[in-house]
Amino acid sequence: MAKVAKTAIKTKDQKAAAEAKNYTKVIRAIKLEDTGAYSFKEAIVHKDKIKDFLAAK
């Protein structure tokens, strides 16, 4: 049998656990002008600022 994944955050500070759910990992592809290859930029961003992160150059 496979192990069951537990999705609940186990912490003593429930307020901090609730605040952590407001952040998202965002990955943006950036094309390099000199080689034409793609590079990726990762960041953990508050859910209200995702559009700002993706719009920035």
- 53 exposure class (CB count in 10 Å sphere: 0-12, 13-18, 19+): middle
Q: Are 41 and 57 in contact (CB under 8 A)?
A: no
User: Per-residue pLDDT tens for 37-48?
Assistant: 999 999 999 999
Enumerate the domain spans of the chain: 22-55
- Work out the pLDDT band at 15, boundaries 50, 70, 90: confident
- Structural tokens at position 45: 């961003």
What's the pTM value of the predicted model, to 2 decimals? 0.60
Residue 26, both tokens: 């965002």
Instruction: Report residue 30: phi and psi, to 5°.
Output: -125, 125
